[in-house]
Amino acid sequence: MSDLPTIDYISVGRYPTTRAYAFQMREMLAAFLEQGVKIELITDTRTEPLPPEDVAYFSLPNLRHHRLPVLNLAPWGVMRPIVDRLAAVIIMITWAIMLTGFLLFRSRRRLIYTRDAVSAGVAVIFGFKTFYEVHHLSEKIGSIRKFFLKHCCGLVTISEALARRVRDLGCDTKRVLVAPDAVDTIIFHPLNQKEARATLGLPDEQFLIVYTGHFYKWKGVYTLAEAGKFLPDSGILLVGGEKEDREPLNEFLQEQKITNVTLRGHEAHNRMPLYLAAADVLVLPNSAQETIGRESTSPLKLFEYATCQRPIVASDVSALREILNDETAEFFTADDAASLAAAVQKIKHDPARGREIAEKALTLSVDFSWKARARRILDFLDQK
């Protein structure tokens, strides 16, 4: 790996942030640094307040971080619903301009590694050896983006479904690497359930179903919340989500008169293993109504769930089937609350089945570590 030139890891977006992409970036940056790679981070200037524990988590002392200014209209308060879409466009335009100026003075010997299409396009135009980590592709892809995809030196996709998409667009198979997300087993590992519940102030005897992460509709959280109607003797705990996503979900619970679902806001990253340990069942309720939930995603929580040795109940969608199977999860029909509840009840009434799938899922942490993912990607970069 020491023969690789310096890598510029480029991403437009808030960093750090509570959103999953920032945690994935942080883990990959740390894993690259651990491999002895020279790497620098380039993001825009936007940030957000974080708990002190998360601030410490995101601090990588050996990482040089460049921040490029963008014009951000979103903080203008009452106008935000009107200008959100325009604000996003303006951010991307100013980002492209600032990144252009930044790259003009960078050595062409550097490798560019990015997870956003705008940055990949700018780097390709300026003749950099560019690698694009693809996390999502819209249903319709314009000719400009197809051009950039075809002219990147390599594409890293987080799912086989995304790899098929880019191949279908004419990208050479040899330039595509499938590298699903991973887990940090130092942070996430099996913990005592009773102690975790005591720490979190959760009831000791209740059968507890837990979901962690964001509350976007494609995540399937409304299906999980609705399943509460069919699970009156169980508690459902949803941890995470932004305020703007929690409020409509709360309204949904009130309208549906569902009383056994509890929402907790964002928690520090190092507390998440406690919530996973407190669970009797962990749920991945991906919706099949959108491509990202059905095919494209490689959710960090999947690997975190598996490593904490609790039985997983998951939507039967191809994105999750790429990693899980009938030996490592109990599946249900996506977007079907009754089917989800039935899968949970199966685990509840057959503890041996729950223990069996949890133990087999635990083995995933061996193959899906950030260190192993970084090695595969660096080998891929080195070959190009």
Place of tokens 């749920």: 283
Please determine, for residue 37, whether its predicted confidence score (pLDDT) is greater than 80: yes
Given a cut of 80, whether residue 40 has pLDDT beyond it is yes
* CATH 3.20.20.150, domain 193-367, yes or no: no
Question: For the packed helices 143-151 and 117-125, what is the interaxial angle rounded to 10 degrees?
Answer: 70
What distance in Å separates the CA atoms of residue 172 and residue 175, rounded to the nearest whole number?
5
pLDDT greater than 90 at residue 73: no
Residue % of the chain over a pLDDT of 70 = 97
Residue type, 232: P
More confident residue, 55 or 367: 55
CA 282 vs. chain centroid, Å, equals 16
Residue 83, pLDDT score: 63
In Å, how far are 47, 100, 123 from 75, measured between CA atoms? 12, 25, 29
Supply 321's token pair.
Answer: 């089937």
Rounded Cα–Cα distance for residues 126 and 5 (Å): 17
pLDDT at 1 over 70: no
Residue from 384, 376, 377, 382 nearest 3 by CA: 382
Give residue 271's pLDDT.
96
Q: Is 13 exposed, middle or buried (0-12, 13-18, 19+ CB in 10 A)?
A: middle
pLDDT at 167 over 80: yes
**Are 7-182+369-383 and 193-367 the same fold in CATH?**
yes
Convert the pLDDT of each residue in 214-244 to its tens digit.
999 999 999 999 999 999 999 999 999 988 8
Structure confidence at residue 141 (pLDDT): 86
Domain 7-182+369-383 sits in CATH 3.40.50.2000: yes
Q: Where are the domains of the chain?
A: 7-182+369-383, 193-367
Q: Read off the pLDDT of residues 170-199 as tens digits, 9 standing for 90 and up.
A: 999 999 999 999 999 999 999 999 999 999
